[in-house]
Structures are given as C-alpha cells and as structure tokens.
Structure 1
Amino acid sequence: MNAGAGTAIVLFTRDLRVHDNPALHAACAEAERVVPLFVHDEAILAGPMAVPNRLRFLADSLADLRRGLRAAGGDLLIRRGDPAAAVAELAGRTGARALHLAEDHSAHALRRLEALRRLSLRVTTAPGLTVVPPGHLTPAKRDHYQVFTPYWRAWRAASPRPVLPPPARITLPDGLDPGPLPDPVTDASPGLMPGGEEHGRRRLREWVSHGLHDYARERDVLAHDGTSRLSAHLRFGTLSPREVLRFTAADEAFARQLAWRDFHYQVAAAFPDLAWRDYRPRPRTVRDDPRALEAWENAATGLPIVDAALRQLHHEGFMHNRARMITASFLTQALHLDWRHGYRHFRRWLADGDIPNNAANWQRLAGTGNDPRPRPLSPLRQAARFDPDGAYVRRWLPELQALEGAAVHRPWQAPPELRRTLDYPPPLLDLGP
C-alpha cells in the first residue's frame, strides 16, 4: 500500500470476491485508505434481472464479501439508489480522488460507467469478468469472432493475466456507516445453492479434487453430478474465471467451457441486442401457441426428459447443461416457439442467468445464433443416450416411478391399465414409436 496516496473507492459490481480481484488489488496498491462499496442499483432492481434466485444468491454473496473484507481490516459499504450518486456522496465525505471498478460491456454497465466518468474522479476499469476480456482477441477486419472454433484457437494461445492475491490489509476511512445487508429472500427455489466466495472456493476445491478428472466422460450424463456447478459463482464474480482456469487448464474439455463463456461475452459486447434480436436471421417457422408455452413452462409437456429438466430448474435455480440444450431444442425446433420465450423463462429461474450466456445459448439452439450449422436435437435420442436407465427422470418426476428402466422416457407406450394410473399428461406432440 502506498502510504500518503489518499483515498480510493472500489465499486463492486459483478466481482464479489477478495481473491484475484484486479479492481480491489489496484486500489489497495495505490491508496492509503480504501472504501469498498456495493450499490443496489435501482435500475437493476426494477428490471427483469432482479428475480428471487439471483437476489438470494446476491444477498449471500454480499454477506460473505463483507466478512472477507472485515477479515482484512476493512468493510463493505452497502448503499441503495444510483451508483454515481452513491460514489459522489462518498467521495465528498472521504476526499477520495480515484474510483476502481471491474470492466463490463453490457449496455447498462456502459451507461453506468459514462455517469461515473462525469464525476470529479479518476476512474479506472480493470479486467476480471472473463479470462480474456471482450475485444482483446479479434480476427482480421472484424470486431469479434463469430464462430467458436477459431476463437478457441486464439483463446488457447493467449497469455492470461496473472492471478492476484487478496489484500493483506485494508484501511477504511473513519466514521463511515457500512449500511445494512439486504433483507433475506424467502421465495427463492428451495434447492438453490448458497452464494458467496467461501462457498464458491470450497466447491471449486472439492470439484477439482473429485470431479474434474471425470469431466470429459461424465459431463453429459444427466443423473450424475458431473459438472462443476460453478456457473452462478462465475456470474456473480464470487469466483474469478482466471483463477478457475489456473486450477483446470490441464483439462481441455473444461477449459473449452470457460472459452465458450468468454466467446459469448465478446459476441454480446459487439452485438448488444443479443437478448431480443436474432444474431443470424434465418427463415424459420415460428408459431404462437400459448397453450404449448404454458405446458413447457410448467413442466407439463408430457415428454419426461423435458419436464424433468424444468422441474430441476424450478427446484434448484439450476439446470444441467445437457438438459438446457434438450429443453431449448424442444421449445424452438419441435414446438416451433420463439426462443425469446425460453430465454425469459430461464432468466426468471437461473441463478447463473446472464444475458451473454443465456441469450447466446438460446439463439444457438434456435438456429439464429453463432453456430453456422444448427442441428435440432431429438429429445428421445438424447434421453436414450444421456439418461439410459431413466434415473434423472425418476429423480424429478416421481409420478413415473412405476415405469422401469428406459420405459420412463415413453410413458405413452405403457400398457393402458398402467398408463391410467400415472398422474402425468399426454405428450404435446406425436413423438412416434
């Protein structure tokens, strides 16, 4: 820490951690006193992204971040309202001359940054939301990569920034009211994982020790917990994607998933309409069928693999990645409903739901995204391959327990006397033999 260098404010946004936090690290390196700040932005709280599962995960993460900062001698100041107004008030109170925050490229983040730069402060943005920041890798004569494979080659060849240690000591100016933590969120999914850096780091350690070595083989098996379940921690920045890569870089299959995340972020930075406009407009059949949409949203399609996935989403605020692909393909390619309906439903429930990954993956499965050769997925073939004994479906659809083995995927083929005992709807579509 550079004694005598005055006071700096760190505005936490989606980097709710003390480990490998470039904005926090830079503030502590240059200033004698540091004011860590989080602002409950009214513009976000009034919008569609403020849903119970993410608010609960955020509340957990803020409480954990406050503990981490206090352990280093500091604290987390929590305010509500407009971020620029909160920063201006604290700068006036503390004499701060500098502001540090994580780089972000969403439309809202860019408007927030513009407002912050109108203040009488030196504003510095730092990387941290991705392994490779959007715009750092570009093909010749284009502002972003449109196809993943060449991006992956460039991403693997890039030299990532070093992982930074947590601050040893944070000195907070005297006389500042930390402000209250948010009220408990009581209407979140009952199986939602806890948020916070401590939980995220524990999950990372356990998964690297006991799950990573089987990832390439087990990641698509629906009944196994073969994925990292780190997505919500990456979305809120309770884990650093750069640090996650340091622990997992030797596993190419998992490193590709981090690269996919970065790929989607650079697409969204270049195409900010990703959540509501087709990235690659193509001729396609789109129906308006409120009954089919309601059945899909309520896990009542009559197709067990789809309904089980949506039950998992509603219970955990999470869905297995393979199940996301199956449900998205069924909605867009089989029911021919607009991908935006699915995007909004996932946005409502996913703890990890953010615009770049949620919208890009929905567009990819709908055939309007970055994949130049979209391929519809057969839900029955996917079920036979990735849930061959029906264990995933039986876990989430106990009403089908009477069906044995793979028969659980085709309840409409059960003997009539058994079918009449199942409290389960007929399929929306004729799915054939």
Structure 2
Amino acid sequence: MTETALVWFRRDLRVHDNEALAEAAAADHLLPVYCFDPREYGTREYGGDDSFRFEKTGSHRARFRRESVSALRDSLSDLGSALVVRHERPETALPALAAAVDADAVYAQTLPAPEEVTAENRVTAALRDAGVAVHRFWTHTLYHLDDLPTPYTSISDTYTSFRKSVESESTVRDPFAVPEMPPPPAAFDGVDAGAIPSLSDLDGGLSDPGHDERAVHAFPGGEPAGLERVESYLWEGDHLRGYKQTRNGMLGADFSSKLSPWLNEGCLSPRRVEREVRRYEDERVRNDSTYWLLFELVWRDFFQFQVAKHGPQFFRREGIRERDDIDWRTDDRRLRLWKRGETGIPFVDANVRELRETGYVSNRGRQNVASFLVNDLEIDWRVGAAFFETHLVDYDPCSNYGNWAYVAGVGNDSRDRAFDVLEQAEHYDGDAAYVKHWLPELSSLPAEYAHRPWRLSADEQAEYGVRLGLDYPKPTIRPDWRTDR
C-alpha cells in the first residue's frame, strides 16, 4: 500500500475518467502537481536537419491552458485536495516535491510524442534515482493502447484499415469515476502551493490575446467548460443529428462539435464523449452523423498510435514515407505573406487571419491553408505545421503534424492530397460570407470577385473601392495557377 503519492498532471487536466488520478487516489495521502515546463514556451529550435526556430506555444493556447489548470485546482479543492503548481522543469520539480513530502510513488499520464517521451523519461530517471516508484497510464485516446488488435508497432499505416480493425476487434473501456481523494500529506503545510504563472511570466513573455468578436467560440479552458460544451452541443442544441452534413461549415459555433481544445488539453476524456454519443443514440437518434463524430475520434486515435509506432521519423521533413524526391523551397517572402494572411488568395488569407486572431480555424480551412503552402508554394511542410503549433488553441502534436504530413504527401496514405483552393472556396463559401467576415476590405465585392479579386478591372476596382496592391494584396503566384482562368 502506497502511503504517500504524487500525481503529475500533464495533458489530462480533469478529474473524470483519469486512470492515473484514480490509481493514485488509493494512497493514504496524495499531492497533485502540475508543471509549466519552460521548454514549452518561448522560441525554440525545431531540431534535426535543416532546422529552424519558432515559437512553441502562443497566447491562445497558453491562455486556455492557464484557465484549465485553474479549473483543475478548483475541482481538486472541491474534492478536499489541492494542486501544487510549479513553473520549472518537471524533472526538477517532482523529485523536490517527492522529497519534501516523503512520497513513495508518482502516478502520471504517458504520451507518445518525442518531446513528451523525453520529458517523461527524464522525470522517471530522476525519481528512480531518488528511490521513488513511477507508475504510468495511457489515458489520452478512445481505445486503449493495450486493446489494439495488434501491437501498436505493427498497426496499419492506413487509416481505413486501422479503423476497421479496431471497430471490429476492440472495445472502448468504461470511463473511470471521479475518485474520492485522500488528504494531502502532513508535510503539505510546509509546501508552497505555487501561483499559476501569468502569460507575461511564461518564457517568451506572452500577452493577453483578448477575444475577437468574430470568433466562432470563446473556448474557455477547463474541465467544467468542456463538459458544458458536450451538454450544449449534443443535448441542449441537439446538433449532433446533423453533424456529418454541417461539419464543413465555415462560420458559427455549432456546425461542428468544437470539442478539440478540451480533448487535446485533456479537460475532456474521449471515452466520456463516446459514452455521451452512445446515450444520445439511445435517447435521440442514431444515424450517420452520430457515427461520424466517433469516426473523427478514431482518426485522433490513429495519429496517436502512429506517433507511438514511428517516433521521431513522424516529424522529419521526409516523413514516415522517407521521401527525398520533393524539392521543398525556401522562400522567406512567400512564407511571411502566408503567415500574415497576405497571399492575395482570399480563401487562404481569411483562414490564416482567423487562426492568428482566435487560435482556431475549421478543419476545412486547415486543409486548404496547408495544401496551398506545401503543394502550391512548395514550402517545407514542417514550417507550416510549426506555425499551427504556435497558434492553435487545440494543438495536439500527433494530430497536427500527422495531418500536415498527410497533406504534404510524406505521411499516411499515398493519395494526392493537393486541394484546389479556388474550387474549395466556391464550394464551401459560395456567397463569400466567410471571406468577407475575415477580410472586411473585400466586403463590397460580389462573391465572384471576393474569391478572385485579381479579375477586377481598373474601373471595377474604383467602383468597389478595392485597389489591388493597396487595399488588398496582389496574388503571390500567377492567377491562372491550377484551374483558374
């Protein structure tokens, strides 16, 4: 029987369905801990061949994370416990806290991305050197790692094959209940609980991103907010019944579930979401839309297990397909314009500006923005993926880099993933409402010109008050590229 334990929260900022917390709560005394690791903030090297520097965590996700940690502290307090917060490397903070309260063991979530594995291994080594046992738990996916039809090292690299195998041969485990929490250690009275660092205190000195009124959702951080989103989307709004038909919408809070920020920071358990969908199917309707939300959760699982299988190769320029036949360009000017949302291609620019201003962009938008960078500008896909890592409020290393590699042709699936962004714009934003929402300088234009402003004659530019090169950029590449004429 463990007398005194620590539970190290990582990307599992919840008390529901948290196996690490549930197991740790069997101890006589328990001290929950969260570390704001300085390595996750500020400007860092990507690493590897042809490396580059980028900002690890931008203000939108940092804001969401701070709110999530604060909500977790409140939840633990309501359960008679407490959360200790440290702004230092976990391999330094956790052994010190374990020594301060004479802990026997540390319980923690295990994650597959290389940086996460490295941090975990450093913590494990430091604790074991101090004679403290470490217990790790897989808690971030719908299907458990141990329940896959084959070992994760031999799973299919094609999503459809993977999905069919888990749907037919695996079972989703029951979620863990919120545990009864043991009291903190007696020595806790001498431990500083620690303040949650402000955005400006984090490495790189972030500023408050504020809230853009044009955003599809405010995305408040924390477990209660995540559970409320499940309640409002499924039950109060009854939106799940039409999810498959609406999920590619560009404007509005409810065309898709918007659960990804809470899932990726661990405020929501995917198994909790699955149980709610199953209950919805029993009590409301079961159709292709209810299935499709589960389908998307399995996509999320797929990338987690792919990273567990392939490790660092997943994040290299040549990808898991080890392609050395693509001549990625280095074009600093075009890259800067793409990052600012000033390429002169409205559908691309609108999505980039939404991402920068709100931390969120639809899946349809992500695919088009990524495809334009890698397939049309032919710029190194990792630079785009790292830009998303900085800005996304719902960033997950496996899903983000997995989807970028997929679009770039170096990851899973060998099909051509190049998007015709003009055709996509007209199909998913036919009236140009989305483009005009994020590019108000084009709001006076008819839809045809809002998507192709380079077609405006000099007289039409004067008529509509849109001067190319002044009010809105000229296109960075030839207007007749791909299908446009």
Could you state the TM-score of these two structures normalised by the residue count of structure 1?
0.93
Residues 55-94 of structure 1 aligned to structure 2 (within 5 Å):
55-94=62-101
Letter in 1 for 2:398: P
Q: Within the alignment, does 1:148 sit opposite 2:189 as a pair?
A: no
Q: Considering only aligned residues, what root-mean-square deviation do their CA atoms show, in Å? A: 2.1
Counterpart Cα distance in 2 of 1:63 and 1:20: 19
Equivalent position of 2:9 in the other structure: 12
* Greater mean deviation of Cα atoms: 419-428 or 309-318: 419-428
Q: Within the alignment, does 1:253 sit opposite 2:288 as a pair?
A: no
Equivalent position of 1:263 in the other structure: 302
Assess, with a 3 A threshold, how the Cα gap between structure 1 residues 121 and 140 changes in structure 2: closer, same or farther. Answer: closer
Counterpart Cα distance in 2 of 1:342 and 1:147: 23
The alpha carbon displacement at 1:418 in A equals 3.0
Residues 162-241 of structure 1 aligned to structure 2 (within 5 Å):
162-174=174-186, 175=189, 176-184=191-199, 187-191=207-211, 193-209=219-235, 210=237, 211-225=239-253, 226-241=255-270
Assess, with a 3 A threshold, how the Cα gap between structure 1 residues 341 and 92 changes in structure 2: closer, same or farther. Answer: closer
Counterpart Cα distance in 2 of 1:136 and 1:63: 33
Assess, with a 3 A threshold, how the Cα gap between structure 1 residues 414 and 45 changes in structure 2: closer, same or farther. Answer: closer
Q: Residues 76 and 83 of structure 2 are in contact (CA less than 8 Å); yes or no, is this contact kept in structure 1?
A: yes
Assess, with a 3 A threshold, how the Cα gap between structure 1 residues 289 and 15 changes in structure 2: closer, same or farther. Answer: same
State the SS of the aligned residue for 2:444. coil
Counterpart Cα distance in 2 of 1:266 and 1:138: 12
The alpha carbon displacement at 1:424 in A equals 0.9
Q: Residues 302 and 428 of structure 1 are in contact (CA less than 8 Å); yes or no, is this contact kept in structure 2?
A: yes
Aligned length in residues: 429
The alpha carbon displacement at 1:144 in A equals 2.9
Counterpart Cα distance in 1 of 2:199 and 2:436: 33
* Greater mean deviation of Cα atoms: 105-114 or 136-145: 136-145
Residues 335-346 of structure 1 aligned to structure 2 (within 5 Å):
335-346=377-388
Q: Residues 339 and 352 of structure 2 are in contact (CA less than 8 Å); yes or no, is this contact kept in structure 1?
A: yes
Counterpart Cα distance in 1 of 2:197 and 2:182: 23
Equivalent position of 2:172 in the other structure: 160
Equivalent position of 2:364 in the other structure: 322
Counterpart Cα distance in 2 of 1:350 and 1:25: 30
The alpha carbon displacement at 1:262 in A equals 0.8
Unaligned runs of 5+ in 2: 45-54, 201-205, 212-217, 282-289
Q: Within the alignment, does 1:42 sit opposite 2:38 as a pair?
A: yes
Q: Percent identity?
A: 31
* Greater mean deviation of Cα atoms: 160-169 or 352-361: 160-169
Residues 103-142 of structure 1 aligned to structure 2 (within 5 Å):
103-118=110-125, 119=128, 120-134=131-145, 136-137=147-148, 139=150
> What are the Cα deviations for residues 366-396 of structure 1, in whole angstroms up to 9, with x where unaligned?
1111022123110111111111111111111
The alpha carbon displacement at 1:5 in A equals 4.8
Unaligned runs of 5+ in 1: none
Counterpart Cα distance in 2 of 1:32 and 1:154: 41
Equivalent position of 1:281 in the other structure: 322
Counterpart Cα distance in 1 of 2:152 and 2:78: 48
Letter in 2 for 1:219: R
Assess, with a 3 A threshold, how the Cα gap between structure 1 residues 141 and 296 changes in structure 2: closer, same or farther. Answer: closer
